[in-house]
Chain A
Amino acid sequence: MSEALRGAQDAARLLSFGLRPRLVPAREPDYRELVRRYLADDGFAALTQAIAAGLGLIVLDVSERAGIVPAGAAESAFTVRIGDYARRAGGEHRAADRLLHALAQLAVAALAFPRPADLADASYVGRVSVHGVDAFVRESCRLLAERCDGDDLTLDPPVDAPRLEAAWRLYARRASTGSTRDARRLAGSTTGIVARAMNFLVDSGCLVHVGDQAGGTFRTTGRYQVQVRELAADAAFEELLALGVVTVTDGSGTLQVRPDEPTLPGSAASLGSPDSPGSPGSPDSLGSTDDPESADV
């Protein structure tokens, strides 16, 4: 086999490692070797990218921690479409469910990387829980509701134009949990939707399950961080720009990460409120700030 052919085979093999999302270089010596070669050898890197492009993939990033992180181009066979993901919903709630599933993904990322710096810091590991994400979005909905209250006390959405209803109303209206006949999680509830989002991310190698507390607790992987930072956030941001929604922030982040729940002197665990986002001891207990600067439009 000639040198060029061998190189092409190795490059394709590196790519195939990248398509097994839960595999990391640390666990697979061959993979690690190929990643090192990619980082050191520009020719090999170019070859890998060319093969990826031919398959309809874009190489987002290659690092020893996350391995090779490919992303699907628009028409690629490897891309997951929201229509496939939220296919199960039907009937009148189809559109609403689609939106809620997409919002849940956005919310998971927002809570996993609460501060702008967390996205940039390659060593950052976020920690998110199902209940935490749900409470986090509901709190955001509450803030938006408060903002609307100022406009008109009695303003309910028009009945015949569901697409004009604000997205947060859809989320706030949906039940957060519910009992089912066989003690499973209610799939249509917001915690059900968030849990589905997170489990899907686990299958994609973006999150790792670390425990069952707070409805399921997960930590982020390097792959997830790269995907959100390099592709997803920008894509969504561009859409917002196209819609004319420009949000100006000072870059310091509107969320604050707090180390822990405080303990009051003399008061027992009764204070651990059930709905406070995140469980004690995890960095995801945070609140959203009522930031005037993040006003939209």
Chain B
Amino acid sequence: MSEAMIEPTSSPVPPPVASSMSSPVAMGLVGDVGMVRRLKALALTQPLHDLDVRKAHLVGAGAGDESTADFSRYAMAELGLHAIDQVTVSMDFDHGADHDQVLRRLVPLAAAQAPERPAAEHERVASWVLHSLINVGNVNRGFDAGYGTVHADGRYVRRRFDFKLLVELADPAGDIYLRATDEAVTVLVGALDTDITSAQIAAEVALDTLIRRGRLADARAAAEAARYRTVQYAEQLRGRLEATRRNVLAVDWLEAMPTLIDEALHHVEQRYRYENAILTHIRRYRDSADDPDHKRQAADLVTIVGDCIRRHTQLQARLLEAGGVFRAEQDRQQFAVSSARGGIDLHAELLLPTLALPAGAAERPAVAFFPGAVGVRTPRAPRVLDLVDLLLRPPLDREVLGAEVVEADLVELVEPPRFDDDTWARALELLDLDPSGPRRLSALLADARRITAGGTVGGGTVGGGDEVAELVALLALHAVSPRIEPARQAGDPTLMIAVDDGTPLSDPRIGGADLLVGRAWLVQPETEPEPGPATRSEPALASEPKPKPKPTRALAAESAR
């Protein structure tokens, strides 16, 4: 059938059958592709109209509700368009919208249409609209519409056009998400057949002009249209890349694909520059507008155009990767081990030819394959006893929410202190030195061990002395770099200071420097506390002797735990 040729059917064709002689021959346009397209476009809006038609039959909230749920106040088609809108906008390169997310956005819209109705009804309406658009009741989860074509011989053939608006797909984790089909985007934007590139340029020229003139409501519509175009573009690329991953040969990477990528890159580049320019325009407009309404509209526009730019950036990233995908896939696919010969090719010799057959004929090979493949089953012979059990078994209740979640008793986790109170008291007692008489760490350690060893508390643990000694060592180490400011603010009269004068510590358990531990008076804020700041400075050179005990790394006090 020639596509663009438009010719009346009457002249060259002999009247087909005798019976049709009396009736006039159909005067349709033969093979009119445009007509078919228009018929299909018309059919696409049918589900939306149906929403409003069917809402009357929607079972009213049932008995009990005094107003029996009047659904006529909801504009269902409008909600339907919003739902498609939401799904389209959240469609990403890899993902789509999830049900709840769409419903969450839809419920407020339903509520706005009938504010006085209960919230449960809004939710019901929203989910009804969404499910109707998926067409949950149909096993194909899609729609079909009939249309007719007129053939050259005057024959009129009815055909079925199958389409879907929202499709459910599963991601690798098994979660189900929604994507809007190309057809749905068509319903929304109303122009599938237009060239994406030119349509987008037109949309943006219009956008720019509209902003200049301050017609922001129109500009918003144009901006949203531009966004849908971008989604369409990304969808095209996604489809091809996915096909490439399956089989590089399935996509024409010699000419078609490089052209597409070049075009798309060029397109992104232009759009990016353009949208940035528009963005500065609107921002200026937004900041200078006096009318608060205009200000709000302009702010909305900034968001939309910002989103466009984000999408373009994403598309560009994918475009840049596309060549890499191809090369990597080519390596993977072309250098795969080729198989040996023999056997039947299930895919090429059975599956593909069967799929290509008409349904009636395809059943024969497919059904012939079945019993052999699934093997034998021993016939089940039911016993009367089992049968009785089977019939009397109560139906299994499927828990929607699953098992009950056990409420756990949470106890706060407290870490036991490393040193007990007793040890602390003794160590602090030891370190409560006379400010005029500093002591060596070694002496303090010896004291610590001795005191506890012959201590008053006879029942103490054997390691008690070592515990105190270890705490003393740690406190002394801490005193090498004391926190002067907090101590002064706390109003302490003295502060413990430890300095290293180079004497090594000889101790069986702890190594490092034999620190000089003492107490220093804290003086007035304006004068510097004597060794304080010095200890803050980082390790000085060990070779440089100083009159004062120099602060240095007295560290490496290592306790043998």
A residues neighboring B (CB under 8 Å): 19-21, 57, 69-72, 76-82, 85, 93, 95-99, 101-103, 105-107, 109-110, 113-120, 131, 135, 137, 139-144, 152-160, 162-171, 173-179, 182, 188-189, 191, 200-201, 204-206, 213-215, 223-224, 227-240, 242-243, 245, 247, 249, 251-265, 267, 270-277, 287-291, 293-294, 296
Contact = CB atoms under 8 A, between A and B. Distances in A.
B376 A116 contact: no
A294 B345 CA distance: 10
B246 A164 contact: no
A291 B249 CA distance: 10
B372 A228 contact: yes
Nearest to A91: B139
Given A135-B246, A227-B373, A251-B341, 8 more contacts: A116-B343, A140-B352, A167-B355, A176-B170, A232-B373, A240-B354, A252-B339, A265-B324
Given A236-B350, A245-B357, A154 B375 contact: no
A171 B142 CA distance: 13
B367 A82 contact: yes
Contacts of A188: 139
A116 B140 contact: no
Contact of B376 (A71, A152, A247, A257): A71
Contact of A154 (B33, B162, B374, B398): B33
Which 5 residue pairs of A and B lie closest in terms of their CB atoms, listed nearest first? Answer: A232-B372, A287-B247, A163-B360, A231-B372, A102-B366
A227 B339 contact: no
B378 interface: yes
Given A182-B400, A262-B332, A227 B372 contact: yes
Contact of A116 (B164, B245, B339, B369): B339
9 contacts: A110-B346, A159-B160, A164-B360, A165-B359, A166-B355, A206-B375, A234-B344, A255-B348, A294-B349
Contacts of B157: 158
Interface string B480-511: 00000000000000000000000000000000
Interface stretch (B16-24, B171-179, B453-461, B462-470): B171-179
B369 to A, nearest CB: 4
B375 A162 contact: no
Chain B, interface residues (CB within 8 Å), range: 35 or more
Contacts of B140: 173-175
Interface in B122-176: 134, 136, 139-142, 146-147, 149, 157-162, 164, 167-172, 174, 176
B238 to A, nearest CB: 9
A296 B170 contact: no
A263 B245 CA distance: 11
A171 B358 contact: no
Contacts of A140: 347, 351-352, 355
Contact of B333 (A93, A236, A256): A256
A109 to B, nearest CB: 6
B351 to A, nearest CB: 5
Given A160-B158, A206-B375, A231-B372, A247 B349 contact: yes
Nearest to B39: A154
A102 B142 contact: no
Most central of A76, A95, A97, A173 by chain B CB within 10 Å:
A173
Contacts of A243: 357, 361, 364-365
Contacts of A152: 1
B133 to A, nearest CB: 13
B336 A105 contact: no
A270 to B, nearest CB: 7
Contacts of B1: 152
A19 B378 contact: yes
B194 interface: no
Contacts of A163: 358-360
Given A166-B359, A171-B355, A191-B170, A70 B373 contact: no
B250 A143 contact: yes
Contacts of B33: 153-154
A251 B368 contact: no
Contacts of B172: 213-214, 272, 274
B339 A178 contact: no
B3 interface: yes
A237 B350 contact: yes
B377 interface: yes
A126 B514 CA distance: 73
A102 B343 contact: no
Contacts of A155: 159
Nearest to B376: A78
A118 B355 CA distance: 22
B242 interface: yes
